[in-house]
């Protein structure tokens, strides 16, 4: 053993084994804590079901039959930010009685479509993805797709869901900006699934993200 290492071994602070053990313990502890929190989070973000919606049980991620309902995004005094509120029955492609299976199948198709068409390579969902096109977290609630909104008017459709589905099938026919969405070969059925996916996503409790969604338009534009 040379002189240098003898000196270095005198203090625990310069002892490699001490730091190796510390690294192991710290990593192990952090990992266990993460696993424990993951179990808790899994329970809290497990998708709800139709009974929850019928009984007014609030779930962070509601079941697929939320597409039968009106969804709003309202300020919660208790939580200090906006939260999605599931309201009364609302027509979705002419129906408000989708069963658990039917709604689940639509959502499944929509989620597959979202991945198959690479939506997140331009848009953000829940704020994650690319920044070339608008965030879609609460796209379902965007006033532009609403009854008096320019995007719904542009497609000439009577309802929000039909307008969105029409746009998704032929985005190249409806330029909303110089940055146009390309034609991704989305079929009518896939578009329906994608709109169901978007409506469902708008019902997820995202802890107030995005803030002030769609509220400040009037103030800024002076309408």
Partner 1 sequence: MASSHLTGIGSESKQLATWYFTFAAIIFGAQLLFGLVAAIQFVMPGFLYGILDFSIARILHVNALVVWMVFAMFGSVYWLLPDETGIETIGIKIGKLLFWVFAAAIVVVVLVYLLVQVGPASDTTIWFITEGREYIEAPRWADYGIVVVVLGFVANLFFTGMKGQQTGIVTVLMADMIAFAGLYLAGMFFTDSISMDQYWWWWVIHLWVEATWEVFVGAIAAYGLITMIGAHRKVVEMWLWIEVAMLFGSGILGLGHHYFWIGTPEYWWEIGALFSALEPLPLVAMFVHVLYDWGKETGLQMAEGYEGHAIDGHTVTNKPAFTWFVMNAFGNFLGAGVWGFFHTLPQVNLYTHGTQFTAAHGHLAFFGAYATILIGMFYLAIQGTNGIKILRHTKLSIWSTSLIALGMLGMTAALTIAGYVQVIVSRAQLGATWAGYFDGQSGPWFTQAMDWRLIMGVVVFTGFILLVIDLLTTGKKSVHKI
**Torsion angles phi and psi, residue 125, rounded to 5:** -120, 130
Binding of partner 1 at residue 37 (CB under 8 A)? yes
Q: Which stretch binds partner 1 (CB under 8 A): 49-57, 89-97, 152-160, 186-194?
A: 186-194
d(CA 213, CA 216): 8
Between the CA atoms of 100, 102, 108 and 112, what dihedral angle is there, to the nearest 10 degrees? Answer: -170
Binding of partner 1 at residue 41 (CB under 8 A)? yes
Binding of partner 1 at residue 169 (CB under 8 A)? no
Binding of partner 1 at residue 185 (CB under 8 A)? yes
Answer for the pair 73, 82: CB distance below 8 angstroms, yes or no.
yes
- Candidates 100, 102, 159, 209: give the one binding partner 1 (CB under 8 A): 209
Answer for the pair 135, 210: CB distance below 8 angstroms, yes or no.
yes
Q: Which residues pair with 76 in a beta bridge?
A: 81
- Candidates 92, 113, 155, 160: give the one binding partner 1 (CB under 8 A): 113
**Torsion angles phi and psi, residue 190, rounded to 5:** -65, -40
- Rounded to a whole number of angstroms, the minimum distance from the CB of residue 90 to partner 1 is 20
Answer for the pair 50, 56: CB distance below 8 angstroms, yes or no.
no
- Candidates 51, 130, 153, 173: give the one binding partner 1 (CB under 8 A): 130
In the bound state with partner 1, the residue whose beta carbon lies nearer, of 44 and 54, is: 44
Q: Which stretch binds partner 1 (CB under 8 A): 49-57, 88-96, 134-142, 152-160?
A: 134-142
């Amino acid at each position: 053993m040379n002189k240098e290492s003898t000196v270095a071994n005198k203090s625990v602070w310069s002892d490699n084994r001490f730091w190796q053990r510390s690294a192991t313990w710290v990593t192990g502890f952090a990992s266990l804590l993460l696993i424990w929190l993951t179990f808790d989070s899994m329970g809290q973000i497990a998708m709800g079901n139709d009974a929850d919606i019928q009984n007014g049980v609030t779930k962070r991620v509601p079941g697929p039959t939320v597409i039968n309902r009106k969804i709003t995004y309202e300020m919660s005094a208790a939580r200090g930010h906006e939260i999605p509120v599931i309201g009364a029955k609302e027509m979705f492609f002419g129906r408000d009685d989708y069963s658990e299976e039917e709604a689940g199948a639509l959502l499944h198709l929509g989620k597959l479509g979202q991945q198959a068409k690479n939506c997140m390579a331009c848009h953000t969902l829940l704020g994650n993805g690319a920044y070339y096109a608008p965030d879609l977290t609460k796209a379902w609630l965007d006033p532009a797709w609403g009854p008096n909104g320019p995007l719904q008017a542009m497609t000439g459709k009577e309802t929000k869901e039909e307008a969105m589905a029409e746009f998704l099938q032929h985005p190249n026919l409806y330029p909303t900006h110089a940055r146009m969405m390309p034609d991704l070969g989305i079929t009518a059925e896939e578009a329906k699934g994608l709109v169901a996916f978007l409506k469902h996503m708008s019902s997820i409790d995202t802890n107030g993200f995005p803030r002030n969604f769609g509220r400040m338009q009037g103030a800024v534009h002076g309408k």
